[in-house]
Structure 1
Amino acid sequence: MLEIDALDVSHWISRYIYPFARISGLLMVMPLVGSRMVSQRVRIFLAVAITLAVVPVLPPMPKVDAISLASFIIILQQLLIGIAMGFIVEMLTQVFVITGQLIAMQTGLGIATTVDPSQGASVVVISQWFLFLVSLVFISLNGHLVLIEILIDSFSTLPVGMQGFGADDFGLIVRWSGWMFSAALVIALPALAALLIVNLAFGVMTRAAPQLNIFALGFPVTMIVGLFIMWLSVGEMATGFQQYMDSLFEFLKKLTLQ
């Protein structure tokens, strides 16, 4: 007669709980899936489905009692790893949100705001448009599938255990967040430079013809020029997003390589 003791049941549960914690942490904060537009039930369903699909191919899990302090620490470590990976990907989309804010400040469109349903906060319209654009590009390039693949590979490069990300790893994440602001400035620099030239031209015109109403003339012209520049640079932004996404995935692979 087959006998199953409580320890075997505990190990079987741990085999699914640990991967579920890391996967659910990623889905909690990653772009699109981690937004408020996706309900918690859908995220839980996706996490359970992915866990059931990948557990048979994962390395052996540590044999720790599922109801113990050690198991609780391991679950927290896996949850933190997933959240960190999703947060890094989320920073990639925020690069273009910051880019939109920089351009909107120079074009005078900063007063045009809308509510971002994914974050529940008011953002400028240009940033929201950029966010929709990069989200579509991310999906069209199968970025979500590559991200899940990197997550599954991380169970081999960063095995489940008491050890997770260390101080050096979090230092890399902080430096990556600094790159987010520099990348946003690089993307917005052509538009900012063109708008600066336009403002200098209006300054010269005002100096030469003081009777011109610079506020009545400069605001619509600056807005039209800014929209035209964005129309010209939208293709380059999509190409730049692909390059940044490749760099992001390489960074994630390096981060999970222990």
Structure 2
Amino acid sequence: MEPVADASNSTILAQWLIDHLVLGMLVLTRLSTLLMSMPAIGTGVPNRVRVFLALTMTMLMLPTVAAVTPSDSLPNMDNLIDLVIAVAREGMIGLLIGATVQLIITGLQLGGEAITSTGGMQLGDAIDPSTRSNMPAIARMVGMMVTAVLLCVGGHRIILNVLLDSFKALPAGDVTFDESMMTLIVDQLTSGMVAGIRVAAPVITALLLANLVTGLISRTLPQINVLAIGLSINALAMLVVLAITIGSAGLIFQEELADTATRLGNLW
């Protein structure tokens, strides 16, 4: 009797998957674009691992999403145009969720670039794997630190909860766009820039004071090589103040991440 029961269960599972094939495709699309734009997973992770994560998480989320998705919202498989449009809309929603977090990290990295430019340390640039462009070492360090903070404080679970909530407000196959989504992107861009300024402000202030001291030394002792002394003072001031205040980047990111989750919840 057990082989017959196992075969019956397998048949029921296979039939359920066939009935929810379109829904699974839409869930996979929204989740995949989120993983592509999500920090710590979008770059630096092998493609096979990302595909495995997307498929596994889709299988785990599919029963929950199927319970809250009206059957009449799903496009018909016979209409290829409607299916392609629905898939494209799902991808945009996933990118929207991932981009809101990535904009905060980008703003913090811009704060690191401002510190490097003010301190005259532009020679320490390296290729950033996420943007494929040159980025100062301090900006990369800030980006890696806040990404580690994201994983340590459970930010990935917050993002996935936001994704599940999006399926309740915007059922798969019935996605609509409005002005509030564009407003959210603008607000996140503003918040990222403000967060970068908050991170860079103490170091830039210390560098400006160091330049003021260098100017006073040049006026008092004109025979001293001010250029060599100025670079040394700037580098010392930047490293000391940065070592003291670098932890604030993680605290600022936690605050902005909570605000981001609140904004996305209000959007849904």
Global fold match (TM > 0.5): yes
Question: CA RMSD for the aligned pairs?
Answer: 1.8
- Give the Cα–Cα distance (whole angstroms) in 1 for the partners of residues 120 and 188 of structure 2: 30
Aligned twin of 1:201: 213
Alignment counterpart, residue 14 of structure 1, candidates 17, 22, 28? 22
| Corresponding position: 1:27 with 2:35 | yes
What is the rounded CA distance, in whole Å, between the counterparts of 2:17 and 2:152 in structure 1?
42
The 8 Å contact of residues 99 and 188 in structure 1, kept in 2 or not, is answered as yes
Within the alignment, does 1:39 sit opposite 2:49 as a pair? Answer: no
2:202 to 190, 211, 216: 190
Q: 2:62 aligns with which of 48, 51, 55?
A: 55
Alignment match, 1:92: 104
Contiguous gaps of at least 5 residues in structure 2:
1-15
Q: CA shift at 1:87, angstroms?
A: 1.1
Q: CA deviation at 1:11?
A: 4.8
Structure 2 CA distance, aligned partners of 1:18 and 1:234?
Answer: 41
The one-character-per-residue Cα deviations of 1:207-236 (angstroms, maximum 9, x if unpaired) are 122112111111012101101101100222
Matches within 5 A, 1:9-158: 11-35=19-43, 37-58=44-65, 59-60=68-69, 61=71, 62-68=73-79, 69-158=81-170
Report the count of equivalent residues.
248
Looking at structure 2, the residues matched to 9 and 230 of structure 1 have their Cα atoms a distance apart, in angstroms, of 54
- SS state at 2:20 partner: helix
Q: CA deviation at 1:171?
A: 2.6
SS at match of 1:122: strand
Partner deviation per Cα, 1:146-177 (whole Å, 9 max, x = no partner): 11111012101222234332233113212321
Higher mean C-alpha deviation, range 174-183 or range 211-220 = 174-183
Q: Structure 1-normalised TM-score?
A: 0.90
Q: Structure 1 unaligned runs (5+)?
A: 1-7
Give the TM-score of the pair, scaled to structure 2: 0.87
Residues 84-135 of structure 1 deviation map (CA, whole Å, 9 limit, x = unaligned): 1111111111122101101111112122111223332221010111111111
Identity over aligned pairs, percent = 26
Counterparts in 2 of 1:117 and 1:172: CA distance versus 1, 3 Å: closer
> Within 2, Cα distance between the matches of 1:149 and 1:126?
32
Q: Which runs of 4+ in 1 moved over 3 A?
A: 8-11
**Pair 1:187–1:49, CA change in 2 (3 A):** same
**Preserved contact between residue 112 and residue 125 of structure 1 (Cα < 8 Å):** yes
Counterparts in 2 of 1:222 and 1:75: CA distance versus 1, 3 Å: same
1:160 alignment partner, SS class: coil
Supply the AA of the counterpart residue of 1:185. Answer: I
